[in-house]
Amino acid sequence: MSSNAQASTSPVAEVPLSRRFGLIWWIALGASGALVLLLGYTLISVTIMGVGIWGVNIPFVWGFDLINYAWWIGIANGASLFAAILVLRRHDLRTAVNRFAEGVAFFAVICAGIFPIFHLGRPWLFYWTFPYPATFEVWPQFRSTLTWDFWAISTHVIVTSLLWYVGLIPDLATLRDRARRKTVQRIYGIFAIGWRGSVRHWAYHQRAYRLVAILVLPLILIMQSTVAFEFGVTLVPDWHETRQPLHFVATGLAQGLSIVLLVAVLLRWGLRLGRYIDEEDIDLLGKLVLASALVSGYLYLDEFVSAVLADRMTQEATFDRMIGDEAGLYWTAIVYSILIPQLFWFKAARQSTIAAVFVGFSIGVGIWFDRFSIIVGGLQTDYLPSVGRTYSPTLPETGLFLGTVGLFAAFLLLFARFLPVVSMFETRHDEHEEETS
């Protein structure tokens, strides 16, 4: 490795190794830390007092718990699908965005996993969904969506953390070598698990990285479909649709890409990484976000068309979601996740940090409203005459949601502080190829 290549990635390596990190980082960490405390508080209170403190009740047995679960898992799926495709295609963009796309996916899975566990009501018995030889001698009900959640989330956690960690190993070794203090060297050294950069190491590493990435592809489609099937297998007319998995996969991808874009521009601005995440990368990411928003738009259209062609009951249920009491949710989703991203037809918008933050954020919000609309709006028309209530989140639910946002932000901040946010070995590889060509 030439000294030139060593120098080329040093700004990336300097970030985790520097002693001071500025006031803004501390303020941000403090704010997200406060939200993490709020998360702890809401989780403890729901454990002690039960899910009665949430706004859920028959027929709205799913509220914020499932809305936010579906939302976070969408981010995780979108981001890791994107990362895996970049690794497999050896696309140039991977150098810039892969590391934190994988990180975003991993953190989002953790946030997602909180909801189904606490939604159980007796979260300490969550392991009952795992098939182990229990003394009650009954296996978990495999037709139950609860067991699907268990497999979906645990598989997701394992695969996304593997993808992230395998990609990190060579860079952890770089940090080990460049760290100035002995303890820091040792800590990075342990996590670099003896990486010496031999040809054999690289060969194994490439194989492992691509193997995990290839695992992600079918997995993500299955996982996102699992979430969609949780709605599909019910008898609720608006949910009981075969198009449901497609809708969740496509909108999830748009959402994952938008969050990756959001994090990309924030890191680029915050850590001054313009050289590694260059204009072209952001431009390409913007185009992808636009394309995925168009696909989501197509699926909304598909929803409308299939409702027109459907039986009367499904038709009524779907149209009720579009023009009924909760129509605001549906149209907010359309405006935020389909219309606003159309800004990215303009090159100036794709290149502007503010526009990227705005669009990235609005797709996130839009898909959140989409999940809200599906879950609450889908149950709006009740088929029993006696029920007149609707669902609205209570304070503990809102606190729980904000808490997971805080947790996500805290993970990202710590990640930006202690780990290289851009893949250094991929950058070196790319620059080396450019030199030789």
Partner 1 sequence: MAQLFTPAATTLFRVVIVLIGAGIVAAGVMAYVWARSDSTWNVGKSAPQPVPFRHDLHSGSLRIDCRYCHSTVERAADAGMPSAQTCMSCHSQVWVGASVLEPVRSSFTLGQPIEWTSVHRLPDYAYFHHAAHITKGVACETCHGRVDQMPKTVKTQTLSMGWCLNCHRDPVPNLRPREAVFTMGYEAHGKDLPGDIRELYREASRRLTSCNTCHR
Binding site for partner 1 (CB under 8 A): 133-138, 176, 185-186, 189-190, 193-194
Task: Name the residue nearer to partner 1 (CB basis): 154 or 185.
Answer: 185
Task: Name the residue nearer to partner 1 (CB basis): 186 or 207.
Answer: 186
Task: Name the residue nearer to partner 1 (CB basis): 134 or 323.
Answer: 134
Q: Please, are residues 138 and 128 in contact by the beta-carbon 8 Å criterion?
A: no
Q: Please, are residues 100 and 426 in contact by the beta-carbon 8 Å criterion?
A: no
Q: Count other C-beta atoms under 10 Å from residue 353's C-beta.
A: 12
Contacts of 436 (CB under 8 A, 6+ apart): none
Q: Give me the least distance between CB of 132 and partner 1, in Å please.
A: 8
- Give the pair of three-digit tokens for residue 131: 């098939």
Give the separation between CA 246 and CA 93, rounded to whole angstroms.
26
Grouping H, G, I as helix, E, B as strand and the rest as coil, residue 412 is helix
Q: Please, are residues 344 and 322 in contact by the beta-carbon 8 Å criterion?
A: no
Residue reference for tokens 């028959």: 58
Closest CA to 166 of 93, 84, 221: 84
Rg over alpha carbons for the chain, rounded to the nearest Å, is 23
Q: Give me the least distance between CB of 13 and partner 1, in Å please.
A: 17
End-to-end CA distance of the chain: 17
Task: Name the residue nearer to partner 1 (CB basis): 134 or 305.
Answer: 134
- Cα dihedral angle (289, 295, 296, 302), rounded to 10 degrees? 170
Task: Name the residue nearer to partner 1 (CB basis): 177 or 382.
Answer: 177
C-alpha distance from residue 303 to each of 228, 233, 297 (Å): 14, 18, 10
Closest CA to 376 of 54, 66, 42, 114: 66
Task: Name the residue nearer to partner 1 (CB basis): 89 or 186.
Answer: 186
Q: Please, are residues 290 and 345 in contact by the beta-carbon 8 Å criterion?
A: yes
Task: Name the residue nearer to partner 1 (CB basis): 94 or 176.
Answer: 176
Q: Give me the least distance between CB of 180 and partner 1, in Å please.
A: 11
Q: Give me the least distance between CB of 369 and partner 1, in Å please.
A: 37
Task: Name the residue nearer to partner 1 (CB basis): 102 or 171.
Answer: 171
Task: Name the residue nearer to partner 1 (CB basis): 173 or 363.
Answer: 173
Q: Give me the least distance between CB of 146 and partner 1, in Å please.
A: 14
- Give the pair of three-digit tokens for residue 111: 């946030």
Q: Give me the least distance between CB of 201 and partner 1, in Å please.
A: 14
Q: Give me the least distance between CB of 185 and partner 1, in Å please.
A: 6
Helices (H), 310-373: 312-323, 327-334, 347-351, 353-372
| Phi, psi angles (nearest 5°) of residue 120 | -65, -25
Q: Give me the least distance between CB of 346 and partner 1, in Å please.
A: 51
Q: Give me the least distance between CB of 197 and partner 1, in Å please.
A: 14
- Give the pair of three-digit tokens for residue 341: 């991203």
Q: Give me the least distance between CB of 137 and partner 1, in Å please.
A: 3
Task: Name the residue nearer to partner 1 (CB basis): 184 or 339.
Answer: 184
Burial 4-34 (b: 16+ CB within 10 A, else e): ebeebbeebbebbbeeeeeeebeebbeebbe
Q: Please, are residues 97 and 86 in contact by the beta-carbon 8 Å criterion?
A: yes
Residue type, 203: A
Task: Name the residue nearer to partner 1 (CB basis): 190 or 214.
Answer: 190
Contacts of 339 (CB under 8 A, 6+ apart): none
Q: Give me the least distance between CB of 109 and partner 1, in Å please.
A: 22
